[in-house]
Amino acid sequence: MRVRRRGKRLAASLACAIPICALIAACGEGRTFTAEEFVEEVNGEGVKLELGEELVTDRDDQELYAVELEPVAELPGSADRHAGGSLSVSDEGEGADEELASCQAAADLLCFRAANVVVVLEGGGIEAEQLGVAIERIAEE
């Protein structure tokens, strides 16, 4: 995994993402998503999240996919900006709890959870903030 975010900018991003995780953890008690349903829901909120290939996981109760967040705008000097990571779908909430805890233990990752889905990003700037807002809206439904 390529990680380049450090310092104050990373701390600010994490400060935004971690409270979102806490708010979303109980999103829709009993509600579950497939990977496709989750992507459709957040994209319906204006996010441009692309579901990539299925990845290998050693857990039988989990599906894991690559994801990419499309940039909001092409800015000068942003050619190497990476806004991607993974999306895991757990059969049960406990699996999502474990995935979220593992993500939060890594200082350079942004973590989001909605019901049985955990999104782990390696960066993302405003795109990651938009994802967090979309997940908050889904949680309110």
Report domain extents, the chain. 28-71+81-140
* pTM of the predicted protein model: 0.76
Q: Are 49 and 72 in contact (CB under 8 A)?
A: no
C-alpha distances in Å from residue 136, one per residue of 2, 8, 74, 118, 129: 27, 24, 26, 13, 11
- Token pair of 15 as six digits: 């400060």
Pick the CATH number of 28-71+81-140 from 3.30.200, 1.10.3470, 3.20.20, 3.40.630: 3.30.200
Name 65's bridge partners: 54, 87
3-state helix, strand and coil shares in percent for the chain, rounded to the nearest 5: 40, 25, 40
Q: Higher model confidence: residue 41 or residue 73? A: 41
Q: Higher model confidence: residue 125 or residue 41? A: 41
pLDDT tens-digit map of 37-56: 999 999 999 999 999 999 99
